[in-house]
Amino acid sequence: MKILVFNCGSSSIKFKLFEMPEEAVLAEGAIERVGSETASASLKTAHGKIEVKQSITDYPRGFAVIKGLLLDPENGALVNLSEVRACGHRVVHGGDEFSGSMRIDDLLEQGIEAVFELAPLHNPPNLTGIQQARLMFGAIPQVACFDTAFHQSIPEVAYRYAIPENLYTDYKIRRYGFHGMSHQFVARSAAKLLGKHKYSVNVITCHLGNGSSIAAIKDGHSIDTSMGLTPLEGLVMGTRSGDLDPGIIFYLHRKGHTIDSLDTLLNKKSGLLGISGSSNDVRDLEIKADGGDEKARLALDIFAYRIKKYIGGYMAILNRVDAIIFTGGIGENGVAMRSRILADMDQLGIIIDETRNAVHVGVIGEIQDTTSRVKVMVIPTNEELAIARDTYKMSRPDR
């Protein structure tokens, strides 16, 4: 059963074609810089690669290009679109209404649109992608997989903010959390590796990339996570500030900053970029720090320090921790950063083996010392596969 997974962003469309339930990847590709006269499109299959640059002014044109790539007679993956039996879609925000993946219909589309205000950069293109896929593929099942859904198990004590209740009831202001498909995927993978049932494992999952979040998972369920109403809260990120005193916003507003300029400042000009003044990329900053750049070193130290604080806090609420898991671009590949984060945690039972750490770059495995009471694991995430699995479960013929 061929399932096509879409991840539609504000200026990009990523897609991957799976054969399910075998979980074989038949094709993967992307449209970059949608809305530009110099957009690029790419596809990779077992037959070869296609890379083209052309004007892709909007999403309908982007989906037409995707159709052409998939049906390409030399390097495509399909002879006819009818071979695709279902589509899965990443949707960033499901509000508090959607607690799991769901089959898409007109009513669900309305539900996605209803929370546009909570994710104005993400949900609109997510919905546009859904609508284009429904037009392209007709009556086949379409499934929405929400980034926030995995965190719907968080208890009220963790998701409520200390603000008047009417702001929660009227405006739905609460912690939602993000990267849910990733946190769930690596937690389930860890359970298998540990020989435990998926609902008997306690882990701390660290999804570290340009956008970063951390989650406390008890008995297989998310019970707390660092991102909040929006993806701005929590860890220091590439260009996002993460946690800060909200009074800073009022202070800067009184100094002449507009609401829009503050939004841009905290989302696009802060984080590693803001501290270092030079880059939002950990790899670049490590090179600069090794060369004596003190601002780069400070940015790396603050990034690691915040993650360490969250790990300690989540150990306290979990009580028993089976493993700490690193995933995402930095988590999977950042050997030096993993060492920086877990240094001096031996009294908490966390001791990293530097040799094992060094060889686990983008590959699954354990990196703790033999004397460590808590396992430390590197597990590459695969959000597209997680979406494909949910889509298959909800679309298979025997359902």
Which residues belong to the active site? 147
244 by DSSP, 3-state: which?
coil
> Under a CB-based contact definition with an 8 Å cutoff, are residues 219 and 200 in contact?
yes
Token readout for 136 is: 């392209």
CA separation for the pair 87, 129 (Å, rounded): 11
Run of H or E including 276: helix 271-276
| Neighbour-count burial for 37-66, b at 16+ CB within 10 Å, e otherwise | eebebebbbeeeebeeeeebeebebbbebb
Nearest to 216 by CA among 97, 312, 115, 74: 312
Nearest to 132 by CA among 4, 249, 281, 309: 4
Q: What is the number of other CB atoms lying within 10 angstroms of the CB of residue 382?
A: 19
In three-state form (DSSP H/G/I as H, E/B as E, the rest C), the secondary structure along 20-78 is CCCCEEEEEEEEECCCEEEEEEEEEECCEEEEEEEEECCHHHHHHHHHHHHCCCCCCCC
CA separation for the pair 250, 277 (Å, rounded): 24
How remote is the C-alpha of 213 from its chain's centroid?
A: 8
End-to-end CA distance of the chain: 13
Residue 378 carries which side chain, given as an amino acid letter? V
Token readout for 162 is: 């200390």
